[in-house]
Amino acid sequence: MNTQPHNRATPAVPPDEPVHTPSLLARMLDSDLWHSFVRSPVTVVSAVVALLYVLAALCAPLISPQNPFDPATLDLMEAFTPPLQANAFSGRTFWLGTDAQGRDIFSAILYGSRVSLLVGVAAVSFAALLGIGLGLMSGYLGGWVDALIMRIADIQLSFPAILIALLIFGVFKGIVPPELQDRVALYVLIVAIGLSDWVQYARTVRSSTMAEKNKEYVQAARVIGVPAPLILLRHILPNVMGPVLVIATIGLALAIILESTLSFLGVGVPPTQPSLGTLIRVGQDFLFSGEWWIVLFPGLALLILALSVNLLGDWLRDALNPKLR
């Protein structure tokens, strides 16, 4: 029975010779994900819109007609110019009109999207980092660590996210001296939104971790004495990232809306760095006096941004779900 039943005479490749493998780009273009992406026109459109949005926000100083937050470039005589109509005094035309200070709405939206996107991305990263870390610990260690983290999550989940964000912001207003508030408000906003959103990351990662940690590849690593933090980081984390990616995409849209809501309520970013939500709040004061463009265009901009990111998240969720393939 021991007469070399398996093929030892494999064609001997010199071990140092580089083996040809398709490039990363080639593999990506051949993946299931790419194929399902191309086959869904809605997804392609929303991806293009979202991408344009990010590019426009990043290049705002280069493409916007004026710097809307530099008082020197503003002219009060140009205030309340309707869209696509020449201003009676200067004769200038503004695509989307101007607001009470003569600020170009289009430029304000570009700059506002910057703040909205920055807060959204940063808040989601913060929430994901916190949630993934706590979820990994909870799922891997189990026992009282798991019970503690999950009960905190349950308690937090019983309050609406906006209430928690408002609460954190209220505490911040109470303890930070007023002269510092404008400078750190942006960071507090990021932390407040992030803290109100970590629970779903933690729950998802925890349940995936509990499934993965009993798989034999994790046990194989434990047999050779790989320390637990490295097992979590190198073995388990890459295998639980799929669902996290989906939540993060949908969470980005939610974070942007939450930020706008907070800014709309007047507790968000300071007026010196207005986001889309701040623009909408400012604009609604003029709604009944007929200057509809001041609130409509920032609102539409927010809608399009949130919708395209949300559609991308929906597609990603379906594409990564093997049961729907």
Do 309 and 232 meet the contact criterion of CB atoms below 8 Å apart?
no
CB of 26 vs another protein, minimal distance in Å? 14
CB of 29 vs another protein, minimal distance in Å? 17
User: How many whole angstroms separate alpha carbon 255 and alpha carbon 261?
Assistant: 10
Do 226 and 179 meet the contact criterion of CB atoms below 8 Å apart?
no
Token pair for 253: 């849209």
CB of 242 vs another protein, minimal distance in Å? 10
CB of 247 vs another protein, minimal distance in Å? 19
Is the Cβ of residue 6 or residue 323 nearer to another protein in the bound state?
6
CB of 8 vs another protein, minimal distance in Å? 6
Is the Cβ of residue 176 or residue 241 nearer to another protein in the bound state?
241
Contacts of 218 (CB under 8 A, 6+ apart): 212, 231, 235, 236
Is the Cβ of residue 5 or residue 174 nearer to another protein in the bound state?
5
CB of 28 vs another protein, minimal distance in Å? 14
User: How many whole angstroms separate alpha carbon 289 and alpha carbon 312?
Assistant: 38
Is the Cβ of residue 167 or residue 221 nearer to another protein in the bound state?
221
| 296: phi then psi, degrees, rounded to nearest 5 | -65, -45
User: How many whole angstroms separate alpha carbon 5 and alpha carbon 7?
Assistant: 7
Do 256 and 243 meet the contact criterion of CB atoms below 8 Å apart?
no
Residue with tokens 């590019």: 55
User: How many whole angstroms separate alpha carbon 136 and alpha carbon 100?
Assistant: 51
CB of 135 vs another protein, minimal distance in Å? 18
Burial 196-209 (b: 16+ CB within 10 A, else e): bbbbbbbbbbbebb
Contacts of 73 (CB under 8 A, 6+ apart): 66, 67
CB of 115 vs another protein, minimal distance in Å? 36
For the chain, how far is it from start to end, CA to CA, in angstroms? 45
Is the Cβ of residue 13 or residue 175 nearer to another protein in the bound state?
13
Whole-Å CA distances, 266 to 37, 83, 103, 259, 278: 39, 27, 20, 11, 7
3-state SS of 64-89 is CCCCCCCHHHCCHHHCCCCCCCECCC
Residues interacting with another protein, by CB under 8 A?
1-2, 4-8, 10-13, 15-16, 19, 21, 215-217, 219-226, 235, 238-239
CB of 143 vs another protein, minimal distance in Å? 11
